[in-house]
């Protein structure tokens, strides 16, 4: 159950400027002022389906970046502002703890706001197996969101 602090969220598609088939976030699991947890279901995405049972690790950074984008969209929505696109600037301290991501299970993505300025934010991120809850990848992402 999302911790929304009184905020009713619009459909997730209205929170992020991505669209299918390149939008991977299924739903918001939990939201606080400093963090967000989302789920990804690769088996329901036509892009992921092209890779068979094992998804390349590069998708992990994209899942994390999209979860950070949902966080930014919720922040904008809560402030009555329009959702703005963000751009991935960096992926640092990337720790890969798996050979691949299983396509046939739900993945859990967590982002925590570590630092923000007027033009950029830094998020500490992690990607977990929805089945075993084991961590598959960690990274610190830098996102440009200024104009």
Q: What is the mean pLDDT of the chain?
A: 89
Question: How many helices (H) does the chain have, and how many strands (E)?
Answer: 2, 8
How many other C-beta atoms are found inside a 10 Å radius of the C-beta of residue 8?
Answer: 7
Could you give all domains of the chain from N- to C-terminal order, each with its CATH number?
12-144 (3.10.129.10)
Q: pLDDT tens across 104-135, in order?
A: 889 999 999 999 998 999 999 999 999 999 99
Q: pLDDT tens across 80-91, in order?
A: 888 888 899 999
Does the pLDDT of residue 1 top 80, yes or no? no
Sign of the dihedral defined by the CA atoms of residues 110, 116, 121, 124, in that order:
negative
Residue 2, pLDDT score: 44
Residue 146, pLDDT score: 67
Q: pLDDT tens across 12-39, in order?
A: 888 888 788 888 999 999 999 999 999 9
User: pTM of whole model > 0.85?
Assistant: yes
Q: Is 86 helix (H, G, I), strand (E, B) or coil?
A: coil
């Amino acid at each position: 159950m999302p911790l929304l602090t009184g905020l009713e969220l619009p459909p997730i598609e209205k929170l992020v400027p991505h669209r299918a088939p390149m939008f991977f976030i299924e739903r918001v699991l939990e939201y606080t002022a400093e963090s967000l947890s989302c789920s990804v279901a690769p088996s329901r995405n036509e892009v992921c389906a092209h890779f068979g049972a094992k998804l390349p690790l590069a998708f992990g950074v994209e899942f994390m970046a999209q979860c950070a984008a949902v966080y930014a969209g919720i922040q904008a929505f809560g402030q009555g502002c329009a959702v703005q696109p963000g751009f991935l600037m960096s992926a640092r301290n990337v720790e890969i703890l798996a050979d691949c991501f299983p396509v046939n299970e739900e993945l859990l993505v967590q982002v925590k706001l570590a630092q923000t300025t007027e033009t950029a934010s830094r998020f500490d991120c992690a990607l977990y197996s929805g089945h075993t809850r084991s961590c598959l990848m960690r990274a610190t992402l830098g996102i440009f969101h200024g104009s």
